[in-house]
Amino acid sequence: MDPSAAAPTAGASINDDSWVSKSNWVRTTSVVGDEKGSADKLSLRYLDEFVGALTCSAQMLEWGLFPDAKEVSETMGVFNAIRKLGLQHKTRDPAPGLRDGIVVVGDGITRTFVSLVEHQHPLARTAAMFAYRTKGWTCYSVDPIMQVSSETKPMPWDAMTNVVAIDQKIEDIRIRLDRAIVVLVHAHVTLEQAMLAIDAKSVVAVLTLPCCNWYGRQERLFDRYPDLVYDDLSILSTHREVLFLRQQIRLWYGPSVAPPSSRQPLVPGGCVPKHYVAPVTKQSSVDRFLSTLLDVSVPLGDIALTALAHHCHERFDATSQIVIVGDHPPLVHALDGAGFSSIRSIASVSDAAAMAAADVVLDCGHLHHALNRTEKTKAGTLVGELCLFWQSKLTSSPDAAVVLLSSRRVLRSAKFLTRPVLAWKVEATGGTPEFIYHCTKPTVVDDPTTMKCPASTPLDMPTMDALQSSLGMQFSSRQDGDNGVQRARGTVVRMQTLHANLSFVDLQDDDNPKVALVLFRAAALVQTPWPLPAALMHHLCQGDVLEVVGAMEVTKTGSQVLVASHVRVMQWASRDTLVYYNY
Residues 390-434 have pLDDT tens digits of: 999 999 999 999 999 999 988 988 889 988 788 889 999 886 688
Question: CA triplet 565, 570, 573: central angle to 5 degrees?
Answer: 120
CA separation, residue 299 to residues 369, 391, 437 (Å): 10, 26, 18
Residue 258 has pLDDT above 80, yes or no: no
Q: What is the pLDDT of residue 238?
A: 66
Q: What is the pLDDT of residue 154?
A: 82
State in words which class domain 41-149+156-276 has: alpha beta
126 and 209 Cβ atoms separated by less than 8 Å = no
The gap from C-alpha 50 to its chain's centroid, in whole angstroms, comes to: 38
Q: What confidence tier does 333 reach under pLDDT thresholds 50, 70, 90?
A: very high
Residue 30 has pLDDT above 60, yes or no: no
148 and 165 Cβ atoms separated by less than 8 Å = yes
Residue 7 has pLDDT above 80, yes or no: no
Q: What is the pLDDT of residue 506?
A: 95
Element (H, E) at 301: none
Distance CA 361, CA 405 (A): 11
Lowest mean pLDDT among 62-71, 122-131, 271-280, 462-471: 271-280
Query: 454-571, what's its fold?
Result: OB fold (Dihydrolipoamide Acetyltransferase, E2P) (2.40.50)
Residue whose C-alpha is closest to residue 219's, from 231, 229, 234: 229
List, by residue range, all CATH 3.40.50.150 domains of the chain: 285-440
Distance CA 176, CA 203 (A): 11
Bigger pLDDT: 447 vs 515: 515
Bigger pLDDT: 326 vs 453: 326
Q: What is the pLDDT of residue 347?
A: 92
Note if the bond before 8 is cis, omega within 30 degrees: no
The percent of residues in the chain predicted with pLDDT above 70, rounded, is 79
Q: What is the pLDDT of residue 460?
A: 63
Query: 285-440, what's its fold?
Result: Rossmann fold (3.40.50)
Residue 478 has pLDDT above 50, yes or no: yes
Residue 15 has pLDDT above 70, yes or no: no
Bigger pLDDT: 9 vs 108: 108
Q: What is the pLDDT of residue 212?
A: 66
Q: What is the pLDDT of residue 328?
A: 94
Query: For the chain, how big is the Rg over CA atoms in Å?
Result: 34
Helix, strand and coil content of the chain, in percent to the nearest 5, comes to 30, 30, 45
Q: What is the pLDDT of residue 285?
A: 85
Write out pLDDT tens, residues 158-174.
Answer: 878 899 989 888 988 99
Beta strands 486-499 and 435-440, pairing class: unpaired
* SS3 sequence of 413-438: CCCCCCCCCCCCEEEEEECCCCEEEE
**Is this prediction's pTM over 0.75?**
no
List, by residue range, all CATH 2.40.50.140 domains of the chain: 454-571
Q: What is the mean pLDDT of residues 49-61?
A: 89
Write out pLDDT tens, residues 97-146.
Answer: 899 999 999 875 544 433 333 445 557 889 999 999 988 899 999 988 88
Bigger pLDDT: 223 vs 337: 337
Q: What is the pLDDT of residue 256?
A: 35
Residue 33 has pLDDT above 50, yes or no: no
Residue 514 has pLDDT above 70, yes or no: yes
CA atoms within 13 A on the CB side of 453: 9
Q: What confidence tier does 449 reach under pLDDT thresholds 50, 70, 90?
A: very low
Query: How many Å is the maximal CA-CA distance in the chain?
Result: 99
Summary mean pLDDT of the chain = 80
Residue 456 has pLDDT above 70, yes or no: no
Q: What is the mean pLDDT of residues 457-481?
A: 81
The percent of residues in the chain predicted with pLDDT above 90, rounded, is 34
Say which DSSP state 244 is in: E
432 and 398 Cβ atoms separated by less than 8 Å = no
CB burial of 395-405 (b: ≥16 within 10 Å; e: otherwise) equals eebeebbbbbb
Write out pLDDT tens, residues 201-212.
Answer: 888 888 888 876
Residue 454 in 3-state DSSP?
A: helix
Say which DSSP state 159 is in: G
Residue 367 has pLDDT above 80, yes or no: yes
Bigger pLDDT: 491 vs 254: 491
Element (H, E) at 287: helix 285-295
DSSP result, 174-194: EEEEEEEEEEEES-SS-HHHH
Residue 286 has pLDDT above 50, yes or no: yes
107 and 125 Cβ atoms separated by less than 8 Å = yes
Distance CA 509, CA 486 (A): 15
Q: What is the pLDDT of residue 422?
A: 86
Residue 537 has pLDDT above 60, yes or no: yes
- Quick one: angle between helices 329-337 and 302-315, nearest 10? 40
176 and 98 Cβ atoms separated by less than 8 Å = yes
Q: What is the pLDDT of residue 549?
A: 94
370-379's contacts with Cβ under 8 Å and 24+ in sequence apart are: 370/289, 370/292, 370/293, 370/296, 371/408, 373/292, 373/296, 374/289, 374/292, 379/415, 379/416
Say which DSSP state 233 is in: T
Distance CA 558, CA 532 (A): 26
CB burial of 321-356 (b: ≥16 within 10 Å; e: otherwise) equals bbbbbbebeebbebbeebebeebebbeebebbeeee
